[in-house]
Amino acid sequence: MHVAAGAAIIPATPRISWAQTYPSRPARLFVGFFAGSLTDSVARLMGQWLSERLGQQFIVEDQPGAGTNLATEMVVRARPDGYTFLMASSSNAINATLYAKLNFDFVRDTIPVAIVARTPLVIVVNPSFPAKTVPEFIAYAKANPGKINMASPGIGSSVHLAGELFMKMAGVNFVVVQYRNSYVPDLLAGQVPLSFSPIPTTIANIRAGTLRALAVTGETRSQALPDIPTVGEFIPSYEATVWNGVVAPKNTPAEIIDKLNSEINAGLTDPKMMARLSDMGSVPKSMSPADFGKFIVDDTDKWGKVIRGANIERI
């Protein structure tokens, strides 16, 4: 029995030693958006933290294109050696249903490392818009079906789908206006009255009074906009947030996954890190790899139902 026990321990020893020496060279953290985006900002914040904690650079590489699918496929096809990662987002959960044909299955072909943060959106309207509260907004929308334009940065974006979910749950109908560039100038000019906007995109205008915030879309009120109610206070169970988290190629060693999960979760309790995320309107969120994996599956299912219900598709 002693011999058998000793034999069982021996194979594990090199793996433990290997995990202790990781990382031994720089790692890459891919982002499927342009520099300056929310996901890019979160990635750079976490990349800096991991670089300082682990003594090797975690280099952020922006690879925008195909609705984040370009960067995702690069990570999926990379060697699972612990030196290539993706700062994933809710776009990855959305794309699983939004795109009719993908060269990968996000849930199957990646392994969750750690979620970093969730960022609510905010319903903003031009100050000339007659409604000042969510109940007034819903009543006005029901009295004017198909007459309210809603700005969106793209088909199937988190902004678009947050509005689609609201329409479904509130029983109202908006005309979705897609923008290739920023929709904020038209919001300010009153050319389009409504958007479900990322908080960092419009918070300066909200504070200046040039846009009116009706509600935030998270489960709880935002520290960035503490006086603004949640949509859920008026429509129970409504929630729509943009999340960001790190994933790795399938078959990346569990020891590396666990080590990075521990380091990322430690960063989310650091006061400076928490303050930086709060400035972005984001809420730190710690999970184990398994819980993060379940979260991704649930979010994929949630937005899949919204996309199918609204007959939205990109090819």
Tens digit of each residue's pLDDT (9 = 90 or more) over 23-57: 999 999 999 999 989 999 999 999 999 999 999 99
The amino acid present at 252, given as its one-letter code, is T
* pLDDT (tens place) for every residue of the chain, 315 residues total: 444 444 444 454 455 555 678 999 999 999 999 998 999 999 999 999 999 999 999 999 999 999 999 999 999 999 999 999 999 999 999 999 999 899 999 999 999 999 999 999 999 999 999 999 999 999 999 999 999 999 999 999 999 999 999 999 999 999 999 998 899 999 999 999 999 999 988 999 999 999 999 999 999 999 999 999 999 999 999 999 999 999 999 999 999 999 999 999 999 999 999 999 998 889 999 999 999 999 999 999 999 999 999 999 886
pLDDT on residue 234: 98
**Model confidence, pTM:** 0.90
The CA distances from residue 314 to 108, 159, 168, in Å, are: 21, 16, 20
* pLDDT score at 12: 47
Amino acid code (one letter) for 3: V
Question: Cα separation of 77 and 148, whole Å?
Answer: 43
Structure tokens that stand for 259 in this block: 């080590």
| Domain range summary for the chain, segments of one domain joined by + | 19-119+242-309, 120-233
The answer to whether domain 120-233 has CATH 3.40.190.10 is yes
Is the CB of residue 116 less than 8 Å from the CB of residue 244? yes
Is the domain spanning 19-119+242-309 CATH 3.30.70.2740? The answer is no
Q: Using CA atoms, how far apart are residues 157 and 169, in angstroms rounded to an integer?
A: 18
pLDDT value of residue 13: 46
Give the type of residue at 288. S
Query: Residue 17 has what pLDDT?
Result: 55
Backbone torsions φ then ψ of 214, nearest 5 degrees: -95, -40
